[in-house]
Amino acid sequence: MFRQTFIRGAQQRELAGGASNDAKDPNRVHCSLAGNAAAIDEMIEKLQAGKPVNSWQARVEALHVYGHYIELSEHQVTTDNVNRFRWSPDVEFYL
């Protein structure tokens, strides 16, 4: 559910975004954002705060900004395809 929460947060800020589960670590998600730098910084600050980002109590334990960018088309869930998935309707987004 974190991927959808991340993408909904990006959409709320009019950012393009992508998120993918790590193939080897089920507790890790790789994310990309593109758009207004101030909006990206604000979203990163919220993620780093360590507070729940949705009603399922998902939270970020560690956030690492890398020098390489994963293209949105390479992600499992993006701001373009998020509505094509059948997500649980029983979640509120705080991000």
Give me the average pLDDT of each 10-residue run along the chain (95 residues).
96 98 96 98 96 95 92 97 92 93
Long-range contacts, stretch 8-14, CB < 8 angstroms, 24+ apart? 8/82, 8/93, 8/95, 9/43, 9/46, 9/53, 9/93, 9/95, 10/35, 10/43, 10/79, 11/79, 11/82, 12/95, 13/39, 13/40, 13/42, 13/43, 14/39
pTM score: 0.93
Tell me if 93 is assigned to some domain. no
Tell me if 91 is assigned to some domain. no
Tell me if 89 is assigned to some domain. no
75 is in which domain, residue-wise? 2-84
pLDDT, position 61: 94
Tell me if 80 is assigned to some domain. yes
